């Protein structure tokens, strides 16, 4: 591709993107393709000859586009939002063009150093001290994996060298988290050979917060049985209910029993950028590690997860393994980020943060997040005052959990039936997409706000669609 062709194609793609955002609300949020439908439309043989980008774009529109669930659609109100702002999109363009690999400092000093600078910015914005050192991984799941690996390394059980299999000198290790902790805690336990059943799920109170009395009882009982409790994961902004575990109390228990404290603030951590939300960071200083995902609520294109730890040297001793061909003269002076994790190769993710924070400014980011929280609270008030809806959890952030209610519903099964029907009616509108969770076998509907592209009118539209769906549901039954 020569320069003029590259320029032409780059403009075509830019125009495509601009047009996409102009028309995005015309598309149904959720893809309605059937399983395998897209695969069947595509050639099973790779093209032998070169095809122009314009041809590929035509096929993209004809065959691939229908398989898109539009995460950037302002009606996307499911799970937790992950949206990309203009600055993030442009940064990704540069990242792909440069294609840097910051596996070690020398292979592109800017990758390591901008990561350090942008993490420092993020700590300042959120209010986290410099006692924490940070690194960017792809996802929160991987950040939590590194936290648990570090916690295990700190036990000095020689697992790094000797492994766990065939050893009868090792105690059974156990991890603690609330029943609402993200599944990545269990997945990490599986991957680290700790075992899923040794992740103790602690019950929560009526506000969906971890019950610290039960946590204490479980830890004591496990010690008594010869196990080695070694880590607690507290969540600030749980996936199902966006609830907040009592971090300060949990940290006292961690201190008492010498346990690693990891905070999963993947979704909600960025809320603390707002002065009025700083209260959520109470007790964070006592943690050993934490994770915050800019790719959730800070408008950063997938992927970007910040892992912070006070135990940088433990992380290094868990993962550093330097082959001769990667040794450099600067090794004693710099951080080679391959030493702090499983992966060798490293994308230039910090450039996205640098572009986004630079372009929006802290004030711009604050304004977006503040609006989301305000709109969520207004939506929650609407739910609370609605005769057919009930608010299920406190709204600290931008996620609202609710249920359909009616005097005629007399069992959990009936409640689940009507709530599922309501969910399907809402999502079949194509204009918004909300998700669900379950608590004590009861289906709960979740609406989350947090998109870069959302305005208050979109929340009004969501209310209208929910109202119309309730009317349809009650008329038909
Ligand atoms: C609280 C929490 N932690 C961790 C994760 C996992 O995030 P990721 O997709 O970055 O691994 C999620 C995902 O929604 C989450 O809600």
Could you report the per-residue pLDDT of 181-200, keeping only the tens digit for each? Answer: 999 999 999 999 999 999 99
SS3 content of the chain, % helix, strand, coil (to 5): 50, 15, 35
Tokens, residue 216: 């204490």
User: 388 CB under 6 A from ligand 1?
Assistant: no
Over residues 69-82, mean pLDDT? 97
pLDDT at 387 over 90: yes
**What letters, b where the CB count within 10 A reaches 16 and e where it falls short, cover 75-87?**
bbbbbbbbbbbbb
What are the start-end ranges of the E strands in 20-150? 76-77, 133-137
Looking at residue 43, what is its pLDDT?
87
Q: What is the largest CA-CA distance in the chain?
A: 75
Ligand 1 centroid, distance to 40 Cα (angstroms): 32
Instruction: Give, for ligand 1, the residue of 180, 186, 266 to mutate: max count of ligand atoms closer than 8 Å to Cβ.
Output: 266
User: 244 CB under 6 A from ligand 1?
Assistant: no
The third-level CATH classification (topology) of the domain covering 101-347 is 3.40.640
Pick the residue whose CA is nearest to atom 15 on ligand 1: 239
Confirm if 126 and 272 have CB atoms less than 8 A apart.
yes
User: 27 CB under 6 A from ligand 1?
Assistant: no
Quote the DSSP letter at residue 77: E
User: 267 CB under 6 A from ligand 1?
Assistant: yes
Tokens, residue 249: 């109390």
Residue pLDDT, tens place only, 99-156: 999 999 999 999 999 999 999 999 999 999 999 999 999 999 999 999 999 999 999 9
pLDDT at 365 over 70: yes
Over residues 73-89, mean pLDDT? 97
User: 182 CB under 6 A from ligand 1?
Assistant: yes
User: 218 CB under 6 A from ligand 1?
Assistant: no
User: 251 CB under 6 A from ligand 1?
Assistant: no
Q: Which atom of ligand 1 is least distant from the CA of 235?
A: 1
Domain regions of the chain by residue span:
101-347
Work out the angle at residue 457's Cα, subtended by the Cα atoms of residues 455 and 460, and round it to the nearest 5 degrees. 125
User: 184 CB under 6 A from ligand 1?
Assistant: yes
pLDDT at 98 over 90: yes
Ligand 1 centroid, distance to 181 Cα (angstroms): 10
Pick the residue whose CA is nearest to atom 4 on ligand 1: 140
Over residues 307-319, mean pLDDT? 98
Give the rounded distance of the alpha carbon of 446 from its chain centre.
16
Calpha distance 335→355 (Å, rounded): 23
Residue pLDDT, tens place only, 393-408: 999 999 999 999 999 9
Instruction: Label residue 477 by pLDDT band (50, 70, 90).
Output: low
Residue pLDDT, tens place only, 344-364: 999 999 999 999 999 999 999
Secondary structure element (H or E) that encloses residue 98, with its range: helix 86-98
Q: Which atom of ligand 1 is least distant from the CA of 138?
A: 10
Calpha distance 46→65 (Å, rounded): 19
Calpha distance 290→298 (Å, rounded): 17
User: 264 CB under 6 A from ligand 1?
Assistant: yes
* Secondary structure class of 34 (helix, strand, coil): coil
Ligand 1 centroid, distance to 219 Cα (angstroms): 25
Calpha distance 88→72 (Å, rounded): 13
Ligand 1 centroid, distance to 384 Cα (angstroms): 28
Per cent of the chain over pLDDT 90 is 99
Confirm if 305 and 140 have CB atoms less than 8 A apart.
yes
User: 118 CB under 6 A from ligand 1?
Assistant: no
Q: What average pLDDT does the structure give for the chain?
A: 97
Checking DSSP bridges between strand 289-292 and strand 260-264, what pairing results, if any? Answer: parallel
Calpha distance 265→249 (Å, rounded): 17
Ligand 1 centroid, distance to 286 Cα (angstroms): 22
Pick the residue whose CA is nearest to atom 9 on ligand 1: 139
Partners of 228 in the beta sheet? 173
Work out the angle at residue 352's Cα, subtended by the Cα atoms of residues 69 and 329, and round it to the nearest 5 degrees. 135
Looking at residue 151, what is its pLDDT?
98
Ligand 1 centroid, distance to 238 Cα (angstroms): 9
């Amino acid at each position: 591709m020569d320069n003029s062709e590259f320029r032409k194609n780059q403009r075509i793609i830019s125009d495509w993107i601009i047009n996409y955002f102009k028309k995005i609300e015309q598309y149904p949020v959720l893809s309605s393709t059937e399983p395998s439908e897209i695969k069947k439309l595509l050639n099973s043989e790779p093209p032998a000859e070169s095809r122009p980008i314009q041809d590929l774009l035509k096929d993209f529109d004809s065959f691939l586009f229908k398989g898109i669930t539009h995460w950037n659609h302002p009606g996307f109100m499911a799970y937790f939002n992950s949206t990309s702002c203009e600055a993030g999109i442009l940064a990704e363009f540069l990242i792909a063009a440069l294609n840097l690999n910051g596996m070690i400092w020398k292979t592109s000093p800017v990758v390591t150093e901008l990561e350090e600078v942008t993490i420092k910015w993020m700590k300042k914005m959120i209010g986290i001290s410099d006692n924490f050192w940070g690194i960017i991984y792809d996802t929160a799941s991987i950040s939590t994996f590194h936290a648990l690996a570090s916690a295990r390394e700190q036990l000095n059980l020689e697992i790094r060298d000797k492994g766990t299999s065939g050893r009868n000198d090792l105690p059974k290790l156990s991890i603690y988290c609330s029943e609402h902790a993200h599944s990545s805690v269990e997945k990490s336990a599986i991957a680290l050979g700790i075992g899923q059943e040794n992740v103790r799920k602690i019950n929560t109170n009526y506000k969906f917060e971890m019950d610290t009395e039960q946590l204490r009882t479980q830890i004591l009982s496990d010690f008594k049985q010869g196990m080695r409790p070694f880590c607690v994961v507290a969540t600030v902004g749980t996936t199902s209910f966006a609830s907040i575990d009592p971090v300060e109390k949990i940290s006292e228990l961690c201190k008492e029993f010498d346990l690693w404290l990891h905070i999963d603030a993947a979704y909600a951590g960025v809320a603390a950028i707002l002065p009025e939300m700083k209260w959520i960071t109470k007790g964070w200083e006592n943690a050993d590690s934490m994770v915050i995902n800019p790719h959730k609520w800070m408008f950063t294109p997938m992927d970007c997860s910040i892992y912070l730890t006070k135990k940088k040297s433990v992380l290094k001793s868990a993962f550093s393994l330097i082959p001769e061909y990667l040794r450099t003269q600067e090794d004693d002076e710099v951080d080679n980020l391959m030493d702090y994790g499983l992966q060798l190769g490293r994308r230039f993710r910090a450039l996205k943060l640098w572009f986004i924070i630079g372009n929006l400014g802290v004030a711009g980011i604050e304004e977006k997040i503040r609006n989301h929280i305000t709109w969520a609270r207004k939506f929650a008030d609407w739910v609370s005052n609605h005769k057919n809806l009930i608010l299920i959890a406190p709204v600290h952030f931008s996620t609202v959990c609710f249920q359909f209610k009616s005097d005629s519903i007399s069992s959990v099964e009936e409640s689940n039936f009507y709530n599922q029907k309501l969910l399907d009616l809402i999502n079949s509108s194509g204009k918004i997409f909300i998700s669900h969770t379950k608590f004590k076998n009861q289906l709960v509907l979740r609406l989350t706000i947090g998109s870069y592209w959302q305005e208050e009118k979109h929340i009004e539209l969501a209310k209208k669609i929910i109202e119309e769906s309730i009317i349809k549901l009650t008329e038909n039954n």
